[in-house]
Amino acid sequence: MKIGVMVKNVPDTESKIKLSADRKSIEMQGVKFVMNTYDEFAVEEALQLKEKLGADTTVTVFSLGPERLVETLRTALAMGADAAVHLTDPAFEGGDSIANAKVLAKAAEAEGFDLILGGKQGIDFDSAQTLSAVAEFLGMGQAQVVTDIEVGGDNTSLKVRRRIEGGDEIVDVTLPAIISCEKGLNEPRYASLPGIMKAKKKEIKKLGLSELGLSADEVGAAGSGTQVVGYSPLKERPPVKMLEGGPAEQAKELVRLLREEAKVL
Amino acid sequence: MANDILVFAEVRDGTFKRISAEMISAAKELAKKTGGGVAVAVVGNGVDAVAGEAASYPVDKVYTVKSPNLDTYSTQGYAQALLAVIAEADPAIVLFGATAMGKDLSSRTAAATGAALMTDCTEIDFDDGTLKATRPVYSGKVYAHVEASKEGLKMASIRPNIFPAAEKSGNSAASTDVSVNIDAASIKAKVLEVVASTTGRKDVTEAEIVVSGGRSLKSEENFKILEDLADAIGASVGASRAAVDAGYQPHSRQVGQTGKVVNPKLYIAVGISGAIQHLVGMRTSKVIVAINKDASAPIFQYADYGIDGDLFEVVPILTEEFKKLLGTA
Ligand SMILES: Cc1cc2nc3c(=O)[nH]c(=O)nc-3n(C[C@H](O)[C@H](O)[C@H](O)COP(=O)(O)OP(=O)(O)OC[C@H]3O[C@@H](n4cnc5c(N)ncnc54)[C@H](O)[C@@H]3O)c2cc1C
Ligand SMILES: Nc1ncnc2c1ncn2[C@@H]1O[C@H](COP(=O)(O)O)[C@@H](O)[C@H]1O
């Protein structure tokens, strides 16, 4: 089975997000970038499938973005991925998720994957859009927010469990398809020391606009339907009102305030 | 008409979900600005009753696509149906709830139509001839202001509980069947079964009130005191990751960055410290109450009302007070 994994390089969850003075951008100095949390589940699942299905299964990771994401590709290689592709070109800059999906789809198309895995959402822009768009561009089936994958039908289909409001859907997926991974699917491994050493020697292929046969007006900011025009900080909450007295008085007062002041009951 | 707003109606188990009534409210606001009307797309199998229900809201038109192959949700089946409605209705903007279904379908159909798409918006407006939205990014640490930057169709999904649900007006809007041949073979991912969660409560993302507990509850059994509180006020029960990791609650109830993002009118955090990864999942809640025995717990910085006390003492008394007030004893 040929497996592709889409991984995104995002600010660590602990990072402080600081706005520039004009609030047009976010200050990225000092921010630590890591592999998107949900993409770790995708890499891990691909590696487990490779272990299960045997040697002719390959895992190729893709990432689109600036030079710093090479670290994330190295991490995936160190975990055990076979090959890594960095999609990079000045023309890709400023793309929204659908413009980025065009590039990712083009890169994946040439490889003829049976299965493409990625995360349920990027914890940077929280869009959860990219992979459905890739699936549409490749004409593949898709299942999002998946917590369990079983391979069936001579490796031609999957039975997956995907999370929806108030329950789960059990979905039969014909390959080739795209699956987005949710927490609970597996426990991502740490890269081993030999893995890290081996990853250092692996080549990371770079592909740009011309290699992919795309034109500059369909990707990046030019190819995007949306544009971020600015940012604003969260609204400050008024200071907390601490309730006085023993448990009985506190409880009574809270109920009164929720009804009379906050008007939520 | 190219200035109409089309709402994708989310239907599950033959019911028109509340989120869709919320989207009708959002659409009415936008339609005032675009000068168009509001239409609703109802997709499924045996959805005549739901389509009738949709038509009883204050909307101008209902489009239905019916097929046995649309019996359960599938991305590709529903995308074909919605694309056919879009072709027929020619709207300026299509609205979805930012739910599992809405997020899945919106990006697929946006890619298919080349539409500009903004997901999980908390504010939306039409101004200077374009769609503008505010959406929380970086796990809710800041808001991004996003605008559609090209001509043509625009789409957005809006977070639950932002707009009030529209009320039925006794209307009976005109209804049009859009016929599409949905070929079963074109649907590569098919739902075999829907397994309802066993908790018997609304999902935390859909509830108007959420009561969440942390590691401090110490056991699955002790969550009973939160269940009782939740029963008294018609709430859903959530949990911190620490409580989920300890096995006290299923992951489907986890609130936070690696769980669910909730936006209820009232969020009660019980014995939760208020780590950033928890806060990003609940801090847009309208009113936040924190109960914690450590007065310096970070959660108090985000709460509207705070009780510095032992949850095992406070919560049962609070439950009784709620029952007295609401007559739910
Ligand atoms: C990548 C990543 C993702 C994460 N995702 C999430 C997520 O989605 N959701 C999430 O919640 N966390 C998440 N976390 C974990 C988060 O950082 C915290 O560890 C977690 O939220 C702590 O849970 P807690 O508040 O229940 O426990 P603790 O931090 O242990 O806090 C327990 C609190 O209970 C109080 N307490 C104890 N006993 C009582 C009592 N009897 N009465 C009243 N108060 C009492 C204590 O004072 C304390 O404030 C994530 C972390 C990482 C690194
Ligand atoms: N720039 C990118 N490079 C590689 N994969 C990406 C990129 N952006 C998004 N993805 C994939 O799409 C998923 C959803 O991301 P998003 O739509 O940005 O929330 C991620 O978890 C990745 O698997």
Count of C-beta atoms within a 10 Å radius of residue B151: 10
Is the Cβ atom of B310 under 6 angstroms away from ligand 1? yes
How does strand A204-207 pair with strand A83-87?
Answer: parallel
Pocket test for ligand 1, best of B237, B241, B293, B310 (most atoms within 8 A of CB): B241
- In chain B, what are the domain boundaries? 5-186, 209-326
Note whether ipTM > 0.90 here: yes
- Chain A residues with CB under 8 Å of B104 CB are 132, 142, 144
- Chain B residues close to A217, C-beta within 8 Å: none
Strand partners, B148: A226
* B110/A172 CB distance under 8 A: no
Query: Using alpha carbons only, what angle is made at residue B87 by residues B84 and B93, rounded to the nearest 5 degrees?
Result: 110
Please judge whether B195 and A238 are an interchain contact, meaning their C-beta atoms are less than 8 angstroms apart.
Answer: no
- Say yes or no to pLDDT of A55 above 80: no
**C-alpha B225 to ligand 2 mean position (Å):** 40
CA angle B203, B207, B208 (to 5 degrees): 170
Q: Is B292 in the pocket of ligand 1 (CB under 6 A)?
A: yes
Ligand closest to CA A36: 2
Q: What is the pLDDT of residues B53-101, one digit of tens each?
A: 999 999 999 999 999 999 999 999 999 999 999 999 999 999 999 999 9
pLDDT for B329 equals 61
Asked if the B5-186 domain carries CATH number 3.40.50.620, the reply is: yes
Q: Which residues contact A64 (CB under 8 A, 6 or more apart)?
A: A87, A88, A92, A95, A100, A103, A104
Residue A64 CA to ligand 2 center (angstroms) comes to: 8
pLDDT digits (tens, 9 = 90+) for A139-166: 999 999 999 999 998 899 999 999 998 8
Residue of B73, B107, B299, B326 for testing the chain A interface, max A β-carbons within 10 Å: B107
Say yes or no: CB of residue B294 within 6 Å of ligand 1.
yes
Using the mean position of ligand 1's atoms as its centre, give its distance from the Cα of residue B301 in Å.
Answer: 15
Does A144 sit within 8 Å of B120, measured CB to CB?
Answer: no
Sequence-separated (6 or more) residues with CB below 8 Å from residue B206 = A165, A166, B18, B19, B160, B236
Contacts of A250 in chain B (CB under 8 A): 307, 309, 314
For residue A45, CA distances in Å to A75, A168, A185, A188 come to 15, 19, 8, 8
Q: From the list A128, A173, A240, which residue is nearest B189 (CB)? A: A173
From the alpha carbon of B240, which atom of ligand 1 is closest? 11
Classify B28 as helix, strand or coil.
helix
Say what the pLDDT of residue A14 is. Answer: 83
The strand ranges marked E within chain A are: 2-6, 9-11, 18-19, 26-27, 33-35, 58-64, 83-87, 115-119, 141-152, 157-164, 167-174, 177-181, 204-207, 226-233, 241-242
Contacts of B287 in chain A (CB under 8 A): 258, 262, 264
Smallest Cβ–Cβ distance between A17 and the set B100, B103, B142 belongs to: B142
Contact (CB<8Å) A232/B140:
no
What does each of the 329 residues of chain B score in pLDDT, given as a tens digit?
589 999 999 998 889 999 999 999 999 999 999 999 999 999 999 999 999 999 999 999 999 999 999 999 999 999 999 999 999 999 999 999 999 999 999 999 999 999 999 999 999 999 999 999 999 999 888 999 999 998 999 999 999 989 999 999 999 999 999 999 999 999 999 999 999 887 778 999 999 999 999 999 999 999 999 999 999 999 999 999 999 999 999 999 999 998 999 999 999 999 999 999 999 999 989 999 999 999 999 999 999 999 999 999 999 999 999 999 998 76
Q: How close does chain A come to B324, measured CA to CA in Å?
A: 10
**Residue closest by Cα to atom 49 of ligand 1:** B273
Q: Give the pLDDT confidence score for residue B1 in this predicted structure.
A: 57
A35 CA → ligand 2 middle, Å: 10
- The interaxial angle of helices A70-79 and A37-53, nearest 10 deg, is 30
Residue B215 burial (C-beta neighbours within 10 Å; 0-12, 13-18, 19+) = middle
Evaluate whether B5-186 and B209-326 have a shared fold. Answer: yes
Task: Please list the residue range(s) of chain A that carry CATH number 3.40.50.620.
Answer: 2-223
Question: Amino acid identity of A180?
Answer: S
Using only C-alpha atoms, chain B has a radius of gyration, in whole angstroms, of: 21
CA A11, CA A33: separation in Å to the nearest integer? 4
CATH code linked to domain B209-326? 3.40.50.1220
**B257 interaction partners in chain A (CB closer than 8 Å):** 13, 37, 123
Query: What angle (nearest 5°) sits at the alpha carbon of residue B289, between those of residues B285 and B291?
Result: 140
Q: Domain A2-223 is in which class?
A: alpha beta
Query: For residue A67, what are its two tokens?
Result: 């030079």
